[in-house]
Amino acid sequence: MGKTRGRRSDRSDGTEQKLYLQLPLLEMRVPEPDLIFLTDLPGGLDSKEWIASHTIGFFEHINLMYGTVSEFCTPSTCPDMTGPGNRQYHWIDDKGKKARLSAPQYIDYIMTYAQKSINDDTIFPTKHGLEFPATFESHVKKIHKLLFHVLAHIYHMHFKEVVLLQLHAHLNAVFAHFVEFNLRFHMVEDKELEVLDDLMVALKLTPPKQSGSNGTLSAVTAGTADSSITDEENKENIGESQPMTTTSGSTTGEVICSQPLSQFPPVEPGGTSSEPQSNKSDPPSSQVDVEMSADEVSASPSS
């Protein structure tokens, strides 16, 4: 029998298949004690300096991770910016109007905004004598929220490609570091993080949540893709009260940049380095259903 073409993101019973919850793919490059060490504020250091340095690091790592799969993220394959549980994200322009964008354009806007903010000395001061502005926290929280949208989209739409590139352990490590830091400094709201609650539980970053009147645990069992899609997960990131525009409208702005397709330095299989692996690696040997049709692999644009 021939292989089914295209993505199979949903089961026949309507539940979403989540490849990133399968047990062989829950490995990380960074041990838990190191995560705690990486996120704890060192004594004598200004918390804003610590947050600023992590924000820059998260931007660079997530931008690089997206760069490894960006050739598979096109307006045709990802016409909407989506996350797990059918969560859909819309871009909000400077006038407060909501725009529905394709995933690559939405992520391009994110990276442009983050890069401009980081390079702005009035927001991220680098010269002696300059102070952090009163609006620093709001800027950083927005950057972290948008970067989380990128992570959610990668896990939802492109985790298969990440596994084929043998970068899933590095992606999990970036995600775990990001979550640990945000749980400590409260940069991202819980309603944003909830779309990947099951992954946080599976990676043992948070305990299973209690649900129901009898106090039973809604634990996520690693190795299964079953996860209930609630009405809350189906809500849009932004309220419906704001007007909608399309990519052809004039309210979306014209801030577009080309994403760097930087490659990670190679890491030997089974190594302990926290450096990301090359995107030229052979498929992993883990016995997980990550089959990919020839049409999907060859869908990337020629250079």
Q: Which residues are annotated as a binding site for Zn(2+)?
A: 73, 78, 153, 158
Pairwise CA distance, residues 91 & 155, whole Å = 20
For residue 87, give the H/E element and its range: strand 87-89
The values of phi and psi at residue 244, to 5°, are -105, 140
Burial label, 137 (beta-carbon count in 10 A; 0-12, 13-18, 19+): middle
Length of the chain: 303
Burial per residue of 140-163, b for 16 or more beta-carbon CB atoms within 10 angstroms, e otherwise: bbbbbbbbbbbbbbbbbbbbbbbb
Of 24, 12, 69, 13, the residue nearest 292 (C-alpha)? 69
Q: Retrieve residue 39's tokens.
A: 């996120």
CA separation for the pair 210, 40 (Å, rounded): 28
User: CA angle 293-297-301, nearest 5°?
Assistant: 145
Q: Binding site: what residues are annotated?
A: 73, 78, 153, 158
**Tokens read off for 80:** 């909407």
- 31 with 37: CB under 8 angstroms? no
Question: Distance between CA 200 and CA 207 in Å, rounded?
Answer: 8
151: phi then psi, degrees, rounded to nearest 5: -60, -45
